Amino acid sequence: MQHVKIVEVGPRDGLQNEKQLVPLAVKLELIRRLADAGLSAIEAGAFVSPKWVPQMADSAEVLKALDLGGAVAYPVLVPNDQGLDAALEAGAREIAVFGAASESFSRKNINASIAESLQRFESVMRRAQAEKLRVRGYVSCVVGCPYEGPIAPAKVAEVTQTLLDMGCYEVSLGDTIGVGTPASVHQMLDAVLKTAPAARLAGHFHDTYGMAIANIREALNAGIRVFDASVAGLGGCPYAKGASGNVASEDVAYLLRGEGYHTGIDLTKLVAAAWHVSDALGKPPASKLAHALGRQA
């Protein structure tokens, strides 16, 4: 049975977009439940400016409460050297740098052009490698941008290749605002796969237009075997107006089980985690599966 990995991004991509401040205890209980459900990589926070994303301000406290030397990886976002300093201080073993294929989105999200951001990442990468950290890369707006509209697949391929050449072990391709359809995702992957091997790519699909599952199916066909997803479909992006949450982890796990892939995930426990965090946030889960199986899953 082939393995497909789900990178759980709910505690970061999901919670970064919550309007109410999410207490540390709620974050830690969510992460505990996700690890218990079999997720082997859980993005736990972001060492970004608390003025830009207040929800991630307690990321050091989150990391300090986790078993960072165990079997589960807890990557955190790092935009610059200052973020790396804080991540190292908190004991991070894996970080993710995040760039974009759209100039306008790059400016709105990290206050830098694409070229400037890649320069910052080079410095972060050099230091991270010296500290033996694993570094993942993100490219946002791989299909469309909230400010620029459609994005050229060749630009996505170029930024992806730069991040891989820099030393990222994997690059996650983000349909940040969920505008992709299988046809546009196919076109984008076609360009990226001309230079990057499928084994070093991941898919990161937001579900704004309900296309994420179809897009994942398309990416599976293209040989991608790692997908980011967010329990209960939590989230969005604070710098991409109208973006809804990531595709729900439990819906992806259900798809993968049905397609005959091994994920190592206990669906019953994952659905229970979805209900638990949704109750804590006072809203219903956005996934289909949580409703189909109900609270008693």
Q: Binding residues for ligand HMG, per CB under 6 A?
A: 13, 16, 46-49, 52-53, 77, 79-80, 82-83, 98, 109-111, 138, 140, 174, 176, 204, 237-239
Which of ligand HMG, Mg ion, none binds 74 (CB below 5-8 Å, type-dependent)? none
Q: How far is the CB of 42 from ligand HMG (least distance, A)?
A: 14
Find the angle CA(6)-CA(286)-CA(294) to the nearest 5 degrees.
90
Q: Which of 146, 176, 172, 144 is nearest to 160 (CA)?
A: 172
Amino acid at 127: R
- Which tokens hold the place of 237? 């992006």
How far is Cα 97 from Cα 218, in angstroms, rounded to an integer?
A: 25
How far is Cα 179 from Cα 206, in angstroms, rounded to an integer?
A: 8
**DSSP for residue 93:** S
Closest residue to ligand HMG in the complex (CB): 174
Residue 237 a catalytic site member: yes
Q: Does 13 bind Mg ion (CB under 5 A)?
A: yes
Q: Which of 148, 224, 147 is nearest to 185 (CA)?
A: 224
Judged by CB under 5 A, the stretch of 8-16, 216-224, 269-277, 289-297 that binds Mg ion is 8-16
Closer residue to Mg ion in complex, CB, 13/207? 13
Q: How far is the CB of 194 from Mg ion (least distance, A)?
A: 24
Q: How far is the CB of 206 from Mg ion (least distance, A)?
A: 6
Q: How far is the CB of 181 from ligand HMG (least distance, A)?
A: 17
Q: Which of 192, 259, 280, 205 is nearest to 13 (CA)?
A: 205
Q: Which of 141, 145, 168, 237 is catalytic?
A: 237
Catalytic residues, by residue number, are 237
Which residues contact Mg ion by CB under 5 A?
Answer: 13
